[in-house]
């Protein structure tokens, strides 16, 4: 099989990139390890920046998002003492769209056949070859048979655990990592949200977040010790903890219900440089991870896909290599700023097990500063809605 761009991974990064390249009439194939059902069963964050909504509009795949998504013009930060609203609309005239990553992925997968975007599901043991040359290829097995895809370029959109990043020679690569000493326990339930907006809470017992998927489906998170397991957390214990951490006002508006999904995720900041080597490009979680505070993961996958598709389309149209040569630097400049924001919001809103009294006072002082400073609120709003491409 021969194609112009072979994409590994059919998460948001691979799907957005694939659709953008197909829109420019390029030949693209996506190889994905799992089934579509599996990919669509993964529950991830749900706040879209304009960067991501613009791409869905550009693709003409925004109808359901505009119908079912919720426009949020503000969000809240609380520490028990105060409830602070970051009014994005007032401060910078922008908003975010609350629409689950699962729904974005579904819209992109559903539209793939009609757009000539081929996705090879259940492709096992994907290997990358000749990435230093201009004739790279992928090997994999499917249904017990060996296959090969020859391409001009390979896009590694295979998430944090995929093979693409590992195909970079050690001599050219560097990674930067920070692991946090806690995780997030998430619960999804078919109950109305406790508030119209998202609430990020820093409580003595640890962080909590009230989020939502729709007016009838809520998504909540609490900070938990790194070594905890789901068996430690029956639903009632989670609801009690949420009511405590989010504060009396949210607790009053909170409807409890049986969980339809529960999971624990560790928190990590990670950046891999560079994002290109020879004919191989990385996009999304394959190259970087942010802690979920701020919901930047999907949005960074979207901005990578935007930069990379523009660069590849330009190269195939005219042989102009400026875009592909500048891709890594351009993408990383935005990645590092999102990393900074996610890291600082994580530091501000969580309780660190070995954090001392001084660190705690720094959090209080920062929240106090934000509460009294329009400039500080504007900086948070500008980052939350997403920095320009
Ligand atoms: N072969 C083929 N596909 C693979 C392989 C492999 N060896 N390894 C991983 N994949 C697939 C995964 O099954 C997954 O579907 O690559 C895809 C990567 O998708 P995501 O993990 O969703 O990553 P990405 O597309 O970069 O999207 C980033 O997803 O993880 C969240 O919070 C993150 O919102 C962010 C977004
Ligand atoms: C979510 O709804 O899952 C969500 C929202 C905001 C975040 C993280 C996750 O910062």
CB of 186 shorter than 6 A to ligand 1:
no
Report the pLDDT value the prediction gives residue 38, as an integer from 0 to 100.
95
Do 39 and 118 reside in the same domain of the chain? yes
Q: Would 93 be classed as within a structural domain?
A: no
- The residue whose C-alpha atom lies closest to atom 33 belonging to ligand 1 is 297
Strands 83-87 and 74-78: antiparallel
Report the pLDDT value the prediction gives residue 82, as an integer from 0 to 100.
87
CB of 47 shorter than 6 A to ligand 2:
yes
CB of 295 shorter than 6 A to ligand 2:
yes
Do 240 and 288 reside in the same domain of the chain? no
For ligand 1, the distance from its centroid to the CA atom of residue 192, given in whole angstroms, is: 30
Do 192 and 331 reside in the same domain of the chain? no
Per-residue pLDDT tens digits for 55-107? 999 999 999 999 999 999 999 999 987 899 999 999 999 999 999 999 999 99
Which CATH number fits the domain that encloses residue 46? 3.50.50.60
CA neighbor of 244 nearest in space, from 197, 207, 190: 207
Do 12 and 153 reside in the same domain of the chain? yes
User: From CA 147, how far away is CA 127, in angstroms rounded?
Assistant: 11
Do 112 and 194 reside in the same domain of the chain? no
Rg (CA), the chain: 21
Q: Which domain holds residue 23?
A: 5-70+98-176+268-345
Do 322 and 290 reside in the same domain of the chain? yes
Do 166 and 200 reside in the same domain of the chain? no
- The residue whose C-alpha atom lies closest to atom 36 belonging to ligand 1 is 298
Q: Name the residues annotated as catalytic.
A: 72, 200, 292, 296, 384
CB of 211 shorter than 6 A to ligand 2:
yes
Contact yes or no for 103/39 (Cβ under 8 A): no
Do 155 and 246 reside in the same domain of the chain? no
Please provide the average confidence, as pLDDT, over all residues in the chain.
97
Per-residue pLDDT tens digits for 179-206? 999 999 999 999 999 999 999 999 999 9
- The residue whose C-alpha atom lies closest to atom 6 belonging to ligand 2 is 295
């Amino acid at each position: 099989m021969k194609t112009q761009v072979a994409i590994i991974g059919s998460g948001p990064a691979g799907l957005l990139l694939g659709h953008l390249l197909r829109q420019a009439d390029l030949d693209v194939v996506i190889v994905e390890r799992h089934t579509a059902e599996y990919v669509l069963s993964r529950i991830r964050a749900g706040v879209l920046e304009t960067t991501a909504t613009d791409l869905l509009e550009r693709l003409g795949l925004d109808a359901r998002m505009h119908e079912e998504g919720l426009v949020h013009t503000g969000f809240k930060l609380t520490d028990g003492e105060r409830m602070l609203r970051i009014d994005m609309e007032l401060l910078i005239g922008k908003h975010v769209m609350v629409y689950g990553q699962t729904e974005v992925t579904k819209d992109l997968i559903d539209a793939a056949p009609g757009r000539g975007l081929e996705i090879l599901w259940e492709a096992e043991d994907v290997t990358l070859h000749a990435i230093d040359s201009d004739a790279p290829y992928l090997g994999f097995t499917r249904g017990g048979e060996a296959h090969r895809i020859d391409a001009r370029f390979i896009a590694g959109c295979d998430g944090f655990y995929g093979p693409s990043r590992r195909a970079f020679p050690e001599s050219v690569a560097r990674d930067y990592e920070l692991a946090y000493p806690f995780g997030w326990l998430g619960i999804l339930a078919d109950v109305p949200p406790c508030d119209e907006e998202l609430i990020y809470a820093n409580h003595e017992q640890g962080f909590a977040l009230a989020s939502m998927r729709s007016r009838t489906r809520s998504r909540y998170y609490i900070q938990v010790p790194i070594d905890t397991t789901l068996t430690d957390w029956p639903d009632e214990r989670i609801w009690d903890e949420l009511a405590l951490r989010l504060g009396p006002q949210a607790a009053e508006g909170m409807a409890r219900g049986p969980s339809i999904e529960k999971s624990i995720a560790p928190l990590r900041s990670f950046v891999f440089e560079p994002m290109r080597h020879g004919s191989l490009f990385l996009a999304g979680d394959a190259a970087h991870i942010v802690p979920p505070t701020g919901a930047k993961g999907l949005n960074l996958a979207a901005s990578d896909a935007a930069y990379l598709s523009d660069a590849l389309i330009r190269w195939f149209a005219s042989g102009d290599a400026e875009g592909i040569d500048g891709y890594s630097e351009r993408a990383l400049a935005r990645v590092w700023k999102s990393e900074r924001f996610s890291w600082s919001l994580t530091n501000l809103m969580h309780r660190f097990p070995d954090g001392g009294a001084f660190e705690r006072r720094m959090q209080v002082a920062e929240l106090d500063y934000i509460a009294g400073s329009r400039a500080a609120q504007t900086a948070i709003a500008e980052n939350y809605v997403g920095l320009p491409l």
